[in-house]
Homo-oligomer: A and B are copies of this chain.
Amino acid sequence: MDHFDYIDQQILLQIRKDARKPFSQIAEELKVSNSLVHQRIKKLKQQGVIKNAEFIVNEKQIGYRTKSYVGIRLREARYAEEVVQGLEKIEEIVECNYVSGYYAIFILIYAFDNQHLRKILYEQVHKIDGVAGTDSFICFDTNFKKPISLDAIVSKHAHD
């Protein structure tokens, strides 16, 4: 990524918080033309800095009251790929990562309640061939969730 200046940063700070904020309004605040905002956003897309825009769904509001991270241990490391394939079919699992440390795979699950979570684990996850066991880290509460800082990437190019 090159040429990430103050304007880019300010635009990005705005649109990652509110993807539907009018470009014209951002332009006004930054005291630049709206075509410039338009061009910069286009550039950020082309560079792959931003992907799509998403409406954020409140999972609790639609009934998913149990959020849980789950660490998965494998019987043998070589089962990893087929286990991931099995996990992908379970719709309550919304994220899946290969990780370092005690677990081979780390997933995020949304379930209606704790019993539903238990059912998903016992009746689906544990039955996938290669899964040795799971440990659940049920989220009692999410204290905060915030976007990553952009400060470290802007100044590096200030002299361009």
Q: Quick one: which of B1, B55, B98 contacts A15, CB cutoff 8 A?
A: B55
The answer to whether A148 touches B52, judged by C-beta atoms less than 8 angstroms apart, is: no
Q: How many Å from the CB of A134 to the closest CB on chain B?
A: 11
Q: Which of A4-27 contact B (CB under 8 A)?
A: 4, 12, 15-20
Q: Which of A38-56 contact B (CB under 8 A)?
A: 47-56
Does A120 reach chain B (CB closer than 8 Å)?
Answer: no
This protein's copies in its complex = 2
Does A115 reach chain B (CB closer than 8 Å)?
Answer: no
The answer to whether A153 touches B63, judged by C-beta atoms less than 8 angstroms apart, is: yes
User: A158: which B residues are within 8 A, CB to CB?
Assistant: none
Q: Quick one: which of B15, B19, B49, B63 contacts A61, CB cutoff 8 A?
A: B49
Residue of A12, A56, A62, A87 contacting most chain B CB atoms (<10 Å): A62
The answer to whether A53 touches B50, judged by C-beta atoms less than 8 angstroms apart, is: no
Given A152-B63, A153-B62: A54 touches B100 (CB 8 Å cut-off): no
Q: Which residue of B lies closest to A45 (CB)?
A: B55
Top 7 nearest A-B pairs (CB, nearest first) are: A19-B53, A99-B137, A91-B149, A100-B138, A97-B139, A98-B140, A96-B143
Give me 12 A-to-B residue pairs in the complex whose CB atoms sit less than 8 angstroms apart, sorted by A's number. Answer: A19-B52, A19-B54, A20-B20, A48-B58, A48-B61, A49-B62, A52-B56, A53-B54, A54-B54, A92-B148, A98-B140, A110-B148
